[in-house]
Amino acid sequence: MTGRFQRAVIALTLAFLPLATALALDKGEYRTLPARQPVEAPEGKIEVREFFWYGCPHCYALEPRIDAWLEHAPGNVAFVRTPATGGRWLVHAQAYYAFEALGVTERLHGAMFRAIHEQNRRLDSLSALADFAAEQGIDPQRFRDAFNSFGVRTALERAKQINAAYQVTSVPLFAVDGKYVTSAYQTRGEQRLFGAIEELVELAARSRTRGGS
């Protein structure tokens, strides 16, 4: 009798594991979008999308934490970045896609943050951005051409659509699997943020296993 009772308890516990995961997050730590958005992750991966702005001090402060987390993130995570595009964020979003077009994102992403937040530089015009690119070994005219290119403008318009779909009004912001959105504000600090992201990744993976959207 005791053995049967123990097996029943174990089976019941396992059956409610997905629910337990959901309840652990049911504290205002995330929101669910009305409709799941398209993702860029390969099949079998869960997309974690960061929305950021180079001028945001919180985004700058979080960068090392993101890098450290990515070294040990779950194997099914596919991390992507999308620049915020509202108002004064737009010129930096265009710069980000110019970096991508030139294939220098890894070189200039951190350098851009440092120039703004450590050197107090105002990189909010094409002229200032071209000078910055030149300092990083990029031909300034090549940067200008990329900045104004059709491809970059197309990417920028797509980023605007993505920002609108995710209702981005502040950064940094993280979206999981095109469905769940969280931030350090919602998790009441950075210490909880990455744990919440991992739980949302697990929730998304279980939802797929159960045939959810």
Element (H, E) at 16: none
- What is the C-alpha separation between 38 and 46, in angstroms, rounded? 12
The answer to whether the CB of 6 falls within 8 A of the CB of 183 is no
The answer to whether the CB of 147 falls within 8 A of the CB of 95 is yes
- What is the C-alpha separation between 116 and 123, in angstroms, rounded? 7
Rounded to 10 degrees, what is the CA torsion of 90, 54, 99, 87?
Answer: 0
pLDDT at 7: 42
The reported pTM is 0.86
One pLDDT digit (tens) per residue for the chain, 213 residues? 444 544 443 333 334 444 444 445 656 899 999 999 999 999 999 999 999 999 999 999 999 999 999 999 999 999 999 999 999 999 999 999 999 999 999 999 999 999 999 999 999 999 999 999 999 999 999 999 999 999 999 999 999 999 999 999 999 999 999 999 999 999 999 989 999 999 999 999 998 877 654
- How wide is the angle at C-alpha 146 spanned by C-alphas 155 and 107, nearest 5°? 90
* Phi, psi angle pair for 178, to nearest 5°: 70, 15
pLDDT at 191: 87
The DSSP output letter for 87 is G
- What is the C-alpha separation between 79 and 50, in angstroms, rounded? 8
> Coil, strand or helix: which one is 46?
strand
Choices 3.40.50.720, 3.20.20.140, 3.40.190.10, 3.40.30.10: CATH for 45-209: 3.40.30.10
